[in-house]
Amino acid sequence: MDDRKKSASTLKDVANAAGVSLGTASKVLAGAASVSEARQRQVWEAARKLGYRRNSLAAELRSCRSTSIGFVVPDLTNSFFIELVCALEDHALESGYRLILAHAQEDPEREAERIRFVLSRQVAGMIIIPCHGYEHAISELRECDVPLVMADRVDNSFPANTVTTDSHRAAMDGTAHLIALGHRRITFIVNALDLVNSRERAQGYQDAMQRAGLAQHANVVVCGMSDTESHATTLGVLAARERPTALFTGANVATLGALRAIRDAGLQLPDDISLLSFDDAPWMSVLRPGISSIRQPAEAIARGIWHLLHKQLQGESPEIVHLRMRADLRVRDSTGPVRNGEWGEAARAAAARPL
């Protein structure tokens, strides 16, 4: 709360100082060529001298056009989302738009508020990566025909343009990698099953296990949305009488918690246990052992999002498109062959069976 009318000079001031009319000043500052060079100079000079700064609230209100795009992100702590932010900022800038970032902090209520906030600022378009339990938040968008692209945590049933990773397939690939290494007791640790993509990841894992005849070993554990929860959960998993030989973490938080738990349990990666992480991060390739991960194609996703949004901004294509991207496996050092000593006969037999 603060009125600062004291100093801010307005277009009127500039026009007066330049000795032209308000309309002319407006045109000049908007870059119109239809004003004589002499006056253009006068106006620019006056603006400079007065330290004039356009009030874009007024400009946008009057013209009913905005060059801002609202981007609602659930978690700035996740480097995948940050990559998206950076890439999208570049795309937006290139097309003459600006991003207004809104951070939901994985809280559906806050997300709803963020959406309301962004919408009330009359953005030209929106990009949303929802939190879990976002139905309520999304209902903020009803009866609102802002160009919209949803990403990552949505599926193809969503009645809007979406860009997602094929999580099911990626999780199958990851699981197959682990199985090929001889692992049978593979536990999948996931943040929350009410996130569509996490559910897909878990499903991909289960399908891969089943396809390998390992359905009886399939074990999906939900670890929550925080480090501490996932740490505690993984500690529990590791303390089981039949400890898994491999962990597949289905999300950023899960990986952090699992890693800390593995460390606390005094286990070595990959000799005592293997770990595969869904979602890559810069630090994963920097230490020894490097963490094997599934990397989502952030750049491609951002490009897809912007493509879909931009088309709408230009008034094109009202039909809904669902883009689906392929993630790839980055095998590093945290996934290794299972230790023979740990295999029972049944596991050995299963290993012999073709996948």
Partner DNA sequence: CTGAAAGCGCTAACAC
Partner DNA sequence: GTGTTAGCGCTTTCAG
| Nearest-approach distance from CB 202 to DNA, in angstroms | 44
* Residues facing residue 128 across a β-bridge: 72, 150
| Nearest-approach distance from CB 122 to DNA, in angstroms | 8
How far is the CA of 39 from the CAs of 9, 18, 23, 43, 84, in angstroms? 19, 8, 12, 6, 44
Judge if the upstream peptide bond of residue 354 is cis by omega within 30 degrees of 0. Answer: no
**12 binding DNA? (CB under 7 A):** yes
| Nearest-approach distance from CB 22 to DNA, in angstroms | 5
Using CB distances below 5 to 8 A depending on partner kind, what does residue 2 bind out of a copy of itself, DNA, none?
A: a copy of itself
Using CB distances below 5 to 8 A depending on partner kind, what does residue 241 bind out of a copy of itself, DNA, none?
A: none
Considering only the stretches 22-30, 148-156, 165-173, 239-247, report the one whose residues sit in contact with DNA under the rule CB under 7 A. Answer: 22-30
Q: Which residues contact a copy of itself by CB under 8 A?
A: 1-8, 51, 53-58, 60-61, 64-67, 76-77, 79, 82, 85-86, 89, 98-103, 105, 116-117, 119-122, 124-125, 142-147, 227, 256, 259-260, 263, 281-283, 285-288, 290, 313, 315
Considering only the stretches 54-62, 73-81, 136-144, 191-199, report the one whose residues sit in contact with DNA under the rule CB under 7 A. Answer: 54-62
| Nearest-approach distance from CB 212 to DNA, in angstroms | 59
Considering only the stretches 35-43, 159-167, 208-216, 230-238, report the one whose residues sit in contact with DNA under the rule CB under 7 A. Answer: 35-43
Q: What is the footprint of DNA within residues 60-99 (CB under 7 A)?
A: 61-65
| Nearest-approach distance from CB 268 to a copy of itself, in angstroms | 8
Give the pairing type, strands 125-128 and 68-73. Answer: parallel
| Rounded-to-integer distance, Cα 321 and Cα 297, Å | 18
| Contact yes or no for 108/102 (Cβ under 8 A) | no
| Nearest-approach distance from CB 118 to DNA, in angstroms | 15
Considering only the stretches 24-32, 100-108, 220-228, 344-352, report the one whose residues sit in contact with DNA under the rule CB under 7 A. Answer: 24-32
Q: Give residues with Cβ within 8 angstroms of 279, minimum separation 6.
A: 78, 79, 80, 251, 252, 255, 293, 294, 295, 296
What is the H or E stretch that residue 248 is in?
A: strand 246-249
Q: Give residues with Cβ within 8 angstroms of 231, minimum separation 6.
A: 256, 257, 258, 260, 261, 264
The amino acid sitting at 278 is: F
**CB crowding 18-45: b at 16 or more within 10 Å, else e:** bebeeebbbbbbeeeeebeeebbebbbe
Instruction: CB nearer to a copy of itself: give 113 or 173.
Output: 113
| Rounded-to-integer distance, Cα 288 and Cα 10, Å | 59
**36 binding DNA? (CB under 7 A):** yes
Using CB distances below 5 to 8 A depending on partner kind, what does residue 223 bind out of a copy of itself, DNA, none?
A: none
| Contact yes or no for 74/111 (Cβ under 8 A) | yes
Using CB distances below 5 to 8 A depending on partner kind, what does residue 85 bind out of a copy of itself, DNA, none?
A: a copy of itself
Task: Using CA atoms of 237, 239, 243, 246 in order, give the dihedral in degrees to the nearest 10.
Answer: 50
If you ran DSSP here, which 8-state letter would residue 141 be given? G
**Which residues contact DNA by CB under 7 A?**
5, 8, 10-12, 19-24, 26-27, 29-30, 34-36, 38-39, 52, 54-55, 58-59, 61-65
